[in-house]
Amino acid sequence: MSEPAVILVVDDVPQNVRLLQAVLEPRGYEVVPAGSGEEALARVAGADLVLLDVVMPGLDGYDVCRRLREDAATRFLPVVMLTASGEREKRRAIEAGADDFVTKPFDHDELLARVRSLLRIKRYHDTIERQAAELRRFLPPQVADLVAGDESFLESHRAEITMLVCELRDFTAFAESVEPEELMLVLRQYHAAVGEEVHRLEGTLERFAGGRVTVLFNDPVPCPDAPERAVRLGIAVRNRVWELAEGWSRQGYDLHPAVGIAQGHATLGRVGFEGRSDYAAIGSVTILAERLCEAAGPGQVLVSGRVHAATEALVIAQPLGELALRGLARPAQAFDVVGLETAPASA
């Protein structure tokens, strides 16, 4: 059973608060009373809707409403102002940010209808926010906001992507040799550094899995310079993790980054089950990126032939010829990207 909606009732006259409680509580609403504007602001956390009297000592209803709209936590909280019949008061209520108003003395049925309507809107807004929060786990914030408005982006489809895989070399041996607290500290530092660069270059984070991070470009939102962004990310991540590795080495941890990048077609979409899902890519391009990462030595960024062809003017790279990679039927052309011809432009 869903929790009852919480309504903050703000009025300095106790009889008015009791009247509203008598109307709302039998309909299943939980009423939180407040006798002043200051008390209302102190008790607003957790409210789903505010019924707000205009005339109060200290902070009046207009001031309270304006403060609610200035606070990011309550910016979209529905506010119904209880006003006298004057058009001027109604206009001031709207200007202060109220979503609706009810004229006193109010009609019970009208009040309940307006409350139900605004709570439906609130539930819809909360659903969108939850979806956006879930999407931000693997998408840049600006992309998550776009996808939240149209979930069709996440349905199974086929697209050409550039995939980057980064992992900490010798991570398994490290994880077996240290205490869990030390392991979690290293992972937090590693994930934070990589996550900052992924968001800066607007990559789609497919997954964090221990020492391995998988990022893709050109999906779910098209990205015409996907290979370039992936290579810039590979260099940036390598440099950031090298800096962390210097500190780790002083603690006796021998961890170094290795990166593989490939380009090709994949099937993409949401995978999982009700209540738990991820956004994933499936196809030979993901395997190639993983195998290039496995073949990379500490500090190396290995890219496929297609990625190198798309970024040749950007990178300083050494050809490695055709590498025999685990699980692939044919050798794959690879290049070792040493650096960039120019300083990375901001995303």
CATH number of the domain bearing residue 34 = 3.40.50.2300
Residues 285 and 196 in one domain: yes
Residues 165 and 107 in one domain: no
Q: What is the pTM of this model?
A: 0.62
- What Cα–Cα distance (Å) separates residue 137 from each residue in 76, 133, 172, 206? 23, 7, 24, 9
Tell me what pLDDT residue 101 has: 85
Residue 176 belongs to a domain: yes
Tell me what pLDDT residue 347 has: 44
β-strand 6-10 against 30-34: which pairing, if any? parallel
Of 87, 114, 135, the one marking the end of a domain is 135
Residue 297 belongs to a domain: yes
Q: What is the rounded average pLDDT for all residues in the chain?
A: 87
Residues 71 and 159 in one domain: no
The 10s digit of each residue's pLDDT in 179-232 is: 989 999 999 999 999 989 998 998 988 888 888 999 999 988 888 999 999 999
Evaluate if residue 344 carries a pLDDT over 80: no
Tell me what pLDDT residue 141 has: 61
Residues 323 and 205 in one domain: yes
Evaluate if residue 269 carries a pLDDT over 90: no
Alpha carbons 339 and 327: distance in angstroms, whole number? 29
Residue 347 belongs to a domain: no
Provide the domain limits for residue 24.
Answer: 6-135
Number of domains in the chain: 2
Mean of the pLDDT values across residues 125-136? 66
- Which comes out higher in pLDDT, residue 172 or 291? 291
> What are the structure tokens assigned to 59, written together?
């902070």
Mean of the pLDDT values across residues 240-261? 92
Mean of the pLDDT values across residues 11-30? 93
Tell me what pLDDT residue 163 has: 97
Evaluate if residue 261 carries a pLDDT over 50: yes
% the chain with pLDDT above 90: 56
Tell me what pLDDT residue 276 has: 62
- Which comes out higher in pLDDT, residue 300 or 275? 300
Q: HSE on the CB side for 62, CA within 13 Å?
A: 11
Tell me what pLDDT residue 10 has: 95
271: left (phi over 0), alpha (psi -120 to 50) or beta: beta
Task: Check the CA dihedral 281-284-288-290 and report its sign.
Answer: positive
256 beta partners? 169
Q: How confident is the model at residue 144 (pLDDT cuts 50, 70, 90)?
A: low
Tell me what pLDDT residue 346 has: 46
- Which comes out higher in pLDDT, residue 147 or 6? 6
Of 74, 106, 135, the one marking the end of a domain is 135
Mean of the pLDDT values across residues 73-93? 82
Residues 55 and 189 in one domain: no
* Cα-to-chain-centroid distance, residue 208: 14
Tell me what pLDDT residue 85 has: 63
Residues 99 and 165 in one domain: no
Sheet holding 100-103, edge to edge: 30-34, 6-10, 49-53, 79-83, 100-103
Q: How confident is the model at residue 105 (pLDDT cuts 50, 70, 90)?
A: confident
- CATH number of the domain that residue 329 is part of: 3.30.70.1230
Tell me what pLDDT residue 345 has: 46
Tell me what pLDDT residue 2 has: 65
Mean of the pLDDT values across residues 231-245? 94
Evaluate if residue 142 carries a pLDDT over 90: no
* Token pair 């980064």: residue: 166
Tell me what pLDDT residue 139 has: 60
Question: What is the DSSP secondary-structure string of 142-189?
Answer: HHHHHHHT-GGGGSSEEEEEEEEEEEEETHHHHHHHS-HHHHHHHHHH
Evaluate if residue 146 carries a pLDDT over 80: no
